[in-house]
Every structure is written in C-alpha cells, then in structure tokens.
Amino acid sequence: MPFTSHLASIRFGTGLSPRIAPPASPDEMVRLLTGPDRIGEAIPMPTFLTVDPSLLDYKRATQARNRVRGTPEEEAAHEAMRALQRQARRRQRDFLMRRMARAATTEDGLRERLERFWADHFTVKSSGPMSAHLVAVFAEEAIRPHVTGRFSDMLRAAMTHPMMLSYLDQNRSFGPNSQRAKRRGGGLNENLARELLELHTLGVDGPYGQSDVRQLAELLTGMAFTQEEGFVYRTNFVEPGAETVLGSSYGGGAPSVDHVFEALDDLARHPATARHLSEKMARHFVSDEPSEDLVQTLTAAFRDTEGDLLVMTAQLLEHPDAWSPELKKVKPPRDFMESTLRALGVRAADLTALDRKPVDQIFAGPMQVMGQSIAGPSGPDGWPEDPASWITPQGMAGRIGWSMKAPSQVTDALPDPRDFVRTALGQQASEAVVFAAGAAETPAEGIGIVLSSPDFQRR
C-alpha cells in the first residue's frame, strides 16, 4: 500500500492538526526521531531525584510525624503529610497535562506514540498516593531516551528504575543464603524475575520454566533503590553462588551488578524476545491480527541489529501493511482526547495552565468513564489492545458525551464543522461523516458528530 501523510499522522502519530503539517514520508518520520526531542525540551519533565514532592520528602515527613506522636505537634505533622499527598496529586494532574500538551502540539508524533507503547510494555504502577505522579517520571526517564536506541539499554533502564523496583517489590527481595538472610531469614521475591521473562522479554509462551524464574530471581537480589540515591546494588542482599538462566551461568564470584546486566543483555538478544516484541509492535500499530510477513520483517530487523529500535521502527514504516487504508485499531481514551485537542488546534500553554478541578472534570474523570484510569492499567501486562475492551456501552457513552461537551471547554472559538471534518480526518473522512458534520444544527453538535464517529475513533 502507498504511503499517505494523513494516515501517517493518524496511525503512527497523535492525529492531524490545523497548525502542523503531517509528515511527508517515512524517511521524514525517521529523521524527526533521530533529531533532538524538541517537544520534550519545550515541555520538560523532572527525574526521580529532582521531582517535587519526592519520596524523600515523604520519608522525612513520616519521620517527623513519628517523632511527635502523642504530643501537641502531632496534628501539625499529620497535616504536613496530607499537604504532601495533595501536592503529589496535583503533580499527577500536572504531568498528565504536560504529556497531553506534547501530543497535541508536537511535530514528531511518532516519538510520543513510541514512548507510550514502550512505557506500556514496561508497565509500572504507584504503591500509594505519594508515588502516583512518579509513573510519568518513569516513562520520561527510563523509556523516552531509548525509543530510538537499543532495547538492551531500555531494558536496563526500566529494570533499575525505582518505580519498577517498587512496583514489583524488588526492594524487599534478598537471597535465602545472603548476609541479610543470616540476620533476618529468607525473603526472595520472584515478581520482577517472572515479569521480566513473561512480559518484558521472552513472552508468556517463551522457552523458560519455573527453575529459570527462581534462578533469575536469585540473580536479581541486590537490586534496590533509596529515596536519596535512586538505584543501588546491595551486595549483602545477594544470593551467593552462580545462577543458571536458560542454560547460561551468571555470577559465582564477588557480587556485582554486572552479572545482572549480562543476563539482561542476553535476554534482550534472545530470538524469543525478538519475536515477542515484533508481534506486540505490529499488533499495537497496525492490526490485532498482523500478517506473518510483517512480524517476520520486524523480527529480522530486531535480530540482525541486536535490538536497534530505530531500525525496527523504520522497517515498520516501510512495510506495505503499515499503509492499509482500513482503520482497524481503536484509540484508547487518552489517545482519543489528545487527537481531539490536536485537531482543535489547542495550544500547549492553555493545557499546562489548567488547575486541578478542570483537569479532573474535562480529562481525568471522563477518561475513567471511558475505561482508562490515570492511575494506570490494573496489571503489569498494560492496557488492552483489542477493540472490545474499549468499545463498551459505558465507554462509548462516555466518548459521545465528551465529544459533545469538551471541545467548548478547551477552546473559545469552535471551528466550522465543515472544515473541522477535513482537518481532523483528512482523506480518511467518509462521505457519511462529511454530510453529517455539514448538516449539524450547531458547531458543537457538528464537531461532536465528527469526534464520536468511527472514522475518528479508529486509527
């Protein structure tokens, strides 16, 4: 199938915009990816060690409260902790709008989509109200810098990030025969090892067994984090001796995180990983039932370059299946909202300036109704890909209601629906939607018809 610029923006970007021209070719899309992250620089995000409030702030507030228990100062200490929790919730909304503003105004929509795809692949969730805003920090710090690099580097960054270690309880995992266990008893946790094999690399049907999970879990002991330093490697937590994973031996001498990295690199290069990631990428961007030729093309690109994600992405864009005119994928709620903002030409500053209440009313609350919580997916396997998970009676009612109401809340002057249908859909606009938009009694109704149509809901 031939390349079309409108389809490039819809299927591989964050939608069409009246302000920003769609990409002219796959080569231009790749060129943008290899250039500087301009929208990331324009709308910055903090790191784990610079974010405010931090887990260290919460730790210190907890310690301060504990010191004054049973005294007149205890209530003030409780209020200080509640203030930090409120601040963390505000940051969660703030970071949501920063990321939406990026998607709505970037010239490089594929970068946003790749970050979202890989962040979902390495799903993390917060363990409480003080870390909910750190999920976005994880994506910014562990995923975004590596979407055009090697998968092995992204894997290392994700596995050593405090949010991943916290989410899968790795901080509390130590070898049954470690120095730590001699003082406190065994505490091996297999969560990170299991998800690393099942979800992040080989796949649920990959060539591994329970012994591999157990041995890998023992190898991962020592990986932890502190609020002050971020990732740390605790040698006194490490299970002594060599561990055998998929027939290869790691460690055995002095404890070293290099042994862990060696195993991660081998898992990243494994043929099953190449196949698993290729199927997942093809399913996410093109079709829930991708062709074997597309999957094999991506698998070969990954295998032959030892996991070069830029080459893999370029091969995806060069494949004829990528430009099939049939829109088969359904936009998740957040993607749907962002493509709406983009089609309306909403400016980044107007989005990042929103207070908590309008963010909740216009975005977070309706997203929840549509089936996507800003807290993240329910499990480590990420958001679903199949249309049936998103196109539910409640979800569609939420989408239609939002389509009719939200545009008037995010822009002062609604465009003419007869123009908007072409702006939002380009060559993908069907005659039925064009007619319905032109026949609407009001601009709000016409725009709502376009946004709630299958033409706009799919990509």
pLDDT at 73 over 80: yes
pLDDT at 194: 98
Check whether 164 has a pLDDT greater than 80.
yes
pLDDT of residue 184: 77
Pair of tokens at residue 11: 């299927």
- The sign of the CA dihedral 235, 229, 87, 412 is negative
- Residue 10 pLDDT more than 90? yes
Q: Would you state the torsion angle of the CA atoms of residues 179, 183, 186, 189, taken in this order, to the nearest 10 degrees? A: -70
Sign of the dihedral through C-alpha 88, 91, 93, 99: negative
Tell me, what's the pLDDT at 373? Answer: 95
pLDDT at 186: 64
pLDDT of residue 165: 98
Burial class (CB in 10 A: 0-12, 13-18, 19+), 226: middle
Buried b vs exposed e over 144-177: b needs ≥16 C-beta within 10 Å?
A: bebbbebbbbbbbbbbbbbbbbbbbebbebbbee
What is the per-residue pLDDT for 197? 98
Determine which helix (DSSP H) or strand (DSSP E) holds 248, and give its type and residue range: strand 248-251
Q: Are 28 and 199 a contacting pair, CB within 8 Å?
A: no
pLDDT surpasses 80 at 62: yes
- Our CA dihedral for 361, 365, 366, 368, rounded to 10 degrees, sits at 170
| 124 CB-side CA count, 13 A | 32
For position 185, what pLDDT does the model report?
Answer: 66
Interval 386-445: pLDDT, tens: 999 999 999 999 999 999 999 999 999 999 999 999 999 999 999 999 999 999 999 999
pTM above 0.95, yes or no: yes
Dihedral sign (CA 308, 313, 318, 321): positive
Domain boundaries, the chain: 166-269, 333-457
| Average pLDDT value for the chain | 97
CA dihedral angle for residue 99, residue 105, residue 111, residue 116, rounded to 10 degrees = 30
Burial class (CB in 10 A: 0-12, 13-18, 19+), 208: buried
Q: Provide the 8-state DSSP code for 47.
A: -
Written as one letter, the residue type at 422 is: R
Which are the contacts of 280, defined by CB distance < 8 A and separation ≥ 6? Answer: 121
Which DSSP letter does residue 345 get? T
| Whole-angstrom distance, CA of residue 192 vs CA of residue 213 | 9
Q: In the prediction, which pLDDT does 389 show?
A: 94
In this predicted structure, the answer to whether residue 128 has a pLDDT above a threshold of 90 is no
The C-alpha atoms of residue 239 and residue 250 are separated, in whole angstroms, by 12
Closest alpha carbon to 6 in 429, 437, 313: 429
pLDDT in tens, 191-233: 999 999 999 999 999 999 999 999 999 999 999 999 999 999 9
Write out pLDDT tens, residues 438-455. Answer: 999 999 999 999 999 999
Residue 232 tokens read as 């740390």
Cβ contact 334:100 at 8 Å: yes
Sign of the alpha-carbon dihedral angle for 450, 332, 158, 360: positive
User: Which among 161, 134, 135, 132 is positioned nearest to 146, based on CA atoms?
Assistant: 161
CA-nearest of 183, 182, 246 to 212 is 246
Torsion, CA 422, CA 424, CA 429, CA 432, rounded to 10: -90
Cα 425 from Cα 22, distance rounded (Å): 12
CA angle 305, 307, 313 (to 5 degrees): 90
204: buried, middle or exposed (CB in 10 Å: 19+, 13-18, 0-12)?
Answer: exposed
For residue 182, the model assigns a pLDDT of: 85
The CA distance from 353 to 148, in Å, is: 31
Q: Go through the chain and tell me how many residues it has.
A: 459
pLDDT digits (tens, 9 = 90+) for 306-339: 999 999 999 999 999 999 999 999 999 999 999 9
Separation of alpha carbons 106 and 68, rounded Å: 49
Report the C-alpha gap between 307 and 311 in whole angstroms: 8
Over range 277-290, report the average pLDDT.
97
